[in-house]
Chains A and B, each alone.
Chain A
């Protein structure tokens, strides 16, 4: 992200409430993650210590410091989804994509496939509990997910069996 783009984002947040998280959220949404150099630029432009920005980015689950793949799959691990088998959906997803689905050391769970096509992460609740288990791909929600109907959902995004 270049300096001008960042300036444009900053200009949209001219009130103090919600400013820092708002700016960081837009960077996250545009880049898919928070690049190191953008955070440093932001620190200089806003006159906010880098340590403070880094605290924010590592505290809140929404931000990632690692680049993400082409498609973002988020599995809901909320209570309703849990009792309806969300953990099985998550591990089936791991098997299909050939990735480990444990918790990362920094507390943020996000794993990207080797071919960089998919990043898998978890959410605490989308608020769509009536259709548990729920997962979202690139912001689109899919309800009643099961290990069985996963391949069909993944296929919509270019995944093929035995590809991983």
Chain B
């Protein structure tokens, strides 16, 4: 069931006031408290949140205590919807205690991740009692926390579906089917952008983009007809250009963004200052 709000037009909701740590914050009714907090600059740790996707609930770091009229319970801020009179506290003793254990678990799961180390240190957790995961030849370099953002970006936002979750429980991993190079990968790099621990490795090598983390899937790159640089995945660029409305002029279509920008600027200048003659 696709919950994603990606691509849906946003209709503003009724304005409400929620109180976070005693501070009154304006919000839209139905907005998540996590979104409100991010906007207000109130720190609530999170890893699997993505504004354009529905709440996922994997990282369990965004717990707060909330309620109305004095009743309190622990709940994730990413699923808590703003309503008039809602009172939220972010660092209660219970939340702090459980969060610390979770961070110890994260340190053990992704021992090479600087992002995790920093986040843990921010909350006073500098070491872990749990056995660290040590994998040789880990395509994600000991940094993956299985937040699912790469899979969701690939499938729900980009519509490519090249990678997915494999197995379940503690054996879960993310990669291409059969750990073979994927025929469905666009080479867009959305996964790299969205990964909170920068675990995914993508490298451009000559005329190809190599998704090193995804079974070394190779995606051919388009070459700029101007400067000769390999600048974007070939198929993706072609499709993107073909979908433009109004369409791009033929002689601009094979250019990289820099060259295209220069061309367009030149033409603009020529058009503005007119004349058959050339400047310079």
Contact = CB atoms under 8 A, between A and B. Distances in A.
- Chains A, B in direct contact (C-beta < 8 Å): yes
Interface of A: 36, 39, 49-55, 58-59, 105-108
A84 B234 CA distance: 62
Given A51-B176, A51-B177, A58 B166 contact: yes
A59 B165 contact: yes
Contact of A51 (B167, B168, B170, B184): B184
Contacts of B176: 51
A49 B167 contact: no
A53 B161 CA distance: 11
A107 B169 contact: yes
Nearest to A56: B164
A58 B166 CA distance: 6
14 contacts: A36-B178, A50-B183, A50-B184, A51-B155, A51-B163, A51-B177, A54-B177, A54-B178, A55-B165, A59-B165, A59-B168, A106-B166, A107-B167, A107-B168
A67 B169 CA distance: 23
A39 B178 CA distance: 10
Contacts of A50: 177, 182-184
A52 B166 contact: no
Contacts of A107: 167-171
A106 B166 CA distance: 9
Band of interface residues on B: 10 to 19
B200 to A, nearest CB: 15
A55 B164 contact: yes
A63 to B, nearest CB: 11
Given A36-B178, A49-B161, A55 B166 contact: yes
Nearest to B183: A50
A39 B164 CA distance: 15
Contacts of A106: 166-167, 171
Contacts of B18: none
Contact of A52 (B161, B170, B178): B161
Q: What 5 pairs across the A-B complex have the smallest Cβ distances? A: A54-B177, A49-B161, A51-B164, A107-B171, A55-B164
B55 to A, nearest CB: 21
Nearest to B176: A51
Given A50-B177, A106-B167, 17 more contacts: A36-B178, A49-B164, A50-B182, A51-B163, A51-B164, A51-B176, A51-B182, A51-B184, A54-B177, A54-B178, A55-B164, A55-B165, A58-B167, A59-B165, A59-B167, A107-B168, A107-B170
Nearest to A39: B177
**Centre residue among A49, A51, A53, A106 by max chain B CB count within 10 A:** A51
Interface in B160-192: 161-171, 176-178, 182-184
Contacts of B162: 49, 51
Nearest to B168: A59
Nearest to A61: B168
B194 to A, nearest CB: 17
A115 to B, nearest CB: 27
A108 B184 CA distance: 27
Interface string B141-170: 000000000000001000001111111111
Contacts of A108: 167
